[in-house]
Amino acid sequence: MTLRDLAGRVNARLAPEAGDVDISNVASLADANPGDISFFGNPKYINALRKTRATAVLLPESFTEEVPVHCLFVPDPAAAFAQILPLFTPQPIVRALGIHPTAVISPDAEIGEGCSIGAHVVIESGAKIGTRSVIEAQCFIGQQTTLGENCHLHPNVTVRERCLIGSRVILHCGVVVGADGFGYEFRDGKQQKIPQTGTVQIDDDVEIGSNSAIDRARFGRTWIQRGTKIDNLVQIGHNVTIGEHCVLCAQVGISGSTRIGNYVTLAGKVGLSGHIEIGDQVMIGAMSGLAKNVPPKTIMFGAPAQPIREYKENYALLKNIRKLYNRVKALEAKNPD
């Protein structure tokens, strides 16, 4: 496609002389070659922009530096790039409608119209599958579990009994929903299992990454609310509640009965202890460990986590502790008494 065609699709401002330049692919700034188009939306990639071999780059309208590429100016380069990307990539795979002959489906399970049920899927008694949902190969849907409309379960997903899944939910490969919560009491010299009799509720428009686990409640429900996005390898313990439109990055671990508000961001490898409350719009930095309640709109970092300003101040002091130690030792040497 020509740059003029692409500029028209995203309402970009483009120098007239660049209009007939051909574009054949998309790439990152670092990996681009002549004929590719890329985008620049984060100042930390300015050096990559200056060195890129791309033919053209989508840039913010406020960008003023001269760079050796054809420039397409747009309000949001990342969003514009997302619009362009499908023009140069393979079309999404469309699964065949109907039920694969190897699927094992209970006679009293309800399958909505327009569904795709893949090879070796198991759907147990009393389960309900909403219209136009896709359940790929080797998934397991337990007894009395409900799955909403337009859901997509990728291969090897397990949703155990009595779970409630909303509409437009995406579960990637290896997700486990509704395994027993990790509950034991030490009695008579050994760990005695506490029955986990509750369920899991996942609301509309939630997406959960590969090999994440959402444990069922001891009683009541473990609840993931509308629009929350969960990365790969995340562990959510029993009776946890996660609010709307949260983002949980890879390897987050949340202990039981913790309550998380709306619009919360947990960066990679954050660990939360049990029975605490995290307010709305909290951000917790990568590899932080948290064991206490956090009020809304707070940024936390560190292990143990603390407000980001306190962390920066304390870290600056810690960096100078060796100098302070040497000064104290020198003073003691001069004045031994």
**In Å, how far are 98, 164, 221, 241 from 238, measured between CA atoms?**
35, 15, 8, 9
DSSP string across 26-82: E--TTT--TTEEEE---GGGHHHHHH---SEEEEETT-----SSEEEEES-HHHHHH
Which tokens in the block code for residue 286? Answer: 């990568």
Instruction: Report how far residue 240's alpha carbon sits from residue 146's, in angstroms, rounded to the nearest whole number.
Output: 20
The dihedral built from the CA positions of residue 32, 34, 35 and 37, taken in this order, carries a sign that is positive
The residue whose two tokens read 């948290």 is: 290
| CATH tag, 98-310 | 2.160.10.10
Task: Enumerate the domain spans of the chain.
Answer: 3-87, 98-310
Examine residue 43 and say whether the peptide bond preceding it is cis (omega within 30 degrees of 0). no
Residue 238 known to be catalytic: yes
One digit per residue, the tens of pLDDT, for the chain of length 337 reads 899 999 999 999 997 777 789 999 999 999 999 999 999 999 999 999 999 999 999 999 999 999 989 999 999 999 999 999 999 988 888 899 999 999 999 999 999 999 999 999 999 999 999 999 999 999 999 999 999 999 999 999 999 999 999 999 999 999 999 999 999 999 999 999 999 999 999 999 999 999 999 999 999 999 999 999 999 999 999 999 999 999 999 999 999 999 999 999 999 999 999 999 999 999 999 999 999 999 999 999 988 888 888 888 877 777 888 888 888 888 888 887 6
Superfamily the domain 3-87 falls into: MurE/MurF, N-terminal domain (3.40.1390.10)
Residue of 152, 154, 238, 275 marked active site: 238
